[in-house]
A and B are shown apart, each in its own frame.
Chain A
């Protein structure tokens, strides 16, 4: 630029842009020409670095080919939509197979490295040109790496959100086992949000099923803190206000010790050792008596 002192900054900028576009074109042509060789080099490096171990070599090669083509296309057109869509699609396919974030970032950075090395090799005699080529290549390559990594993480988060929702819906079934008898088996960790949802569902179920007795089974709950314990006590009291008796079953030894240690007042709560005992107690409260068939058949 110094050889043309008359040019204005704006002209400079435009020329620089045109220059960049020209360089990128040259770059893309180079990458197209050496497609086979660079792609193989990349796939080899991926295997060497022990990335994508969940996939076979053929699969890696097939994916490498499409990533490579998409990569070159993004460099050529300067638009990232196609690449974004591809990254999302790729993530959808490989996330269920257990591919980790670091692997995806790793392979994209490897491709960047492989391509940069080929540029070094090509322009090693013309240092000035190499510099300008890299000026054009680096920002675009960074953006591509970014796009792919972000696409992967977003897809992952979407999957996690979806699963969380599914778990939340599945996690609090209120089941009717007899007329006016409900059971609520709780499995897994109870956080405040889940505890609240649990209570709401139970109280609503008591109303709609006109339940008189509810057995809450917490065999599947590994740990309980004072907040959750107090919430449980509140649930029991609220159920009583709706006219239902609550029996809590399946307190593990650890939970029993914790509750005594932290001093939660459970005097208002009926507790029975296991679910079977709880159901028997509930049946007694409701006036049921379970008898074997032979016994009832005898008088006839």
Chain B
């Protein structure tokens, strides 16, 4: 199933609705890489609330998306990781180090807003 990617102001929101196959994940990666440039987005939020399990390929893809969008000049926030999923990921050694995470979509947006406030006065 394809993941809808919504444009919300300066942000892109990819909301995962159901378990994803490897092909879906590859597709998501490509779509985000492409849309970040097209919409000149400043950040990408990937919402994984709907996922009860996440295999290593899914986690690696999330990490790739984060690194890739960084290269395209945007930031990635992963939101809505379930508690069980979080602990399983850590045990597998896939802790998404250096990538921003937040409790849910609302928190993710709040985090990005606070980041842009920090950034505007300084002008980067």
Is B96 an interface position by the 8 A CB rule? yes
Knowing that A203-B87, A238-B89, A243-B111 touch, tell me 4 more A-B residue pairs with CB under 8 angstroms. Answer: A235-B90, A238-B87, A241-B89, A242-B81
Number of A-B contacts (CB under 8 A): 57
Is the C-beta of A206 less than 8 angstroms from some C-beta in chain B? yes
List residues of chain A with CB within 8 A of the CB of B14. Answer: none
- Which residues from 68 to 92 on chain B have a C-beta closer than 8 Å to any C-beta of chain A? 78-79, 81-87, 89-91
B90 contacts A210, C-beta separation under 8 Å: no
Q: Which chain B residues have a beta carbon within 8 Å of chain A's beta carbons? A: 78-79, 81-87, 89-91, 95-97, 101-103, 107-108, 111
Minimum CB–CB distance from A47 to chain B (whole Å) comes to: 58
Q: A237 interface residue, CB < 8 Å from B?
A: yes
A241 touches B79 (CB 8 A): no
A238 touches B90 (CB 8 A): yes
A241 to B99, CA, bound (A): 9
Tell me the bound Cα distance from A237 to B101 in angstroms: 11
A244 an interface residue at 8 Å Cβ cutoff? Answer: yes
Neighbour of A240 across the interface among B82, B85, B101, CB < 8 A:
B101
Question: Is A284 in contact with chain B by the CB < 8 A criterion?
Answer: no
**A262-273 CB contact bits vs B (8 Å, 1 = yes)?**
000000100000
A binding-site residues for B, Cβ under 8 Å: 199-200, 203-204, 206-207, 210, 212, 234-235, 237-244, 268
Contacts of A234 in B (CB 8 A): 87, 90-91
Contact of A206 among B97, B103, B108 (CB under 8 A): B103
**B78 contact set on A, CB distance < 8 A:** 241
When the two chains form the complex, which single residue of A204, A212, A240, A268 contacts B83, counting CB atoms closer than 8 Å?
A204
CA distance A150 to B11 in the complex (A): 70
Chain B residue contacts of A237, Cβ below 8 A? 90, 95
Shortest beta-carbon distance from B86 to chain A in Å: 4
In the bound assembly, the distance between CA atoms of A186 and B40 in angstroms comes to 47
Complex interface: chain A residues within 8 A of B86 (CB): 203, 238-239, 241-242
Contact A241 B95 (CB under 8 A): yes
Known: A200-B83, A206-B83. A244 touches B89 (CB 8 A): no
The answer to whether B79 touches A243 (Cβ under 8 A) is yes
Residues of B within 8 A of A239 (CB): 86
Question: Which residue on A lies nearest to B78, using beta carbons?
Answer: A241
* Of A199, A200, A203, A235, most B-chain CB atoms within 10 Å: A203
Residues of A within 8 A of B83 (CB): 200, 203-204, 206-207, 238, 242
Min CB–CB distance A37 → chain B (angstroms): 69
Q: How far is the CA of A5 from the CA of B89 in the complex (A)?
A: 83
Check B91–A241 contact: CB distance below 8 A.
no
**Which one of A200, A207, A268 contacts B87 once the chains associate, using CB atoms below 8 Å?**
A200
Chain B residue nearest to A233 in the complex (CB)? B90
Partner of A241, one of B90, B107, B108, B111: B90
Which residues of chain A are within 8 angstroms of B85 by Cβ–Cβ distance?
241
Is the pair B102, A243 in contact by a Cβ cutoff of 8 Å?
Answer: yes
A241 to B87, CA, bound (A): 9
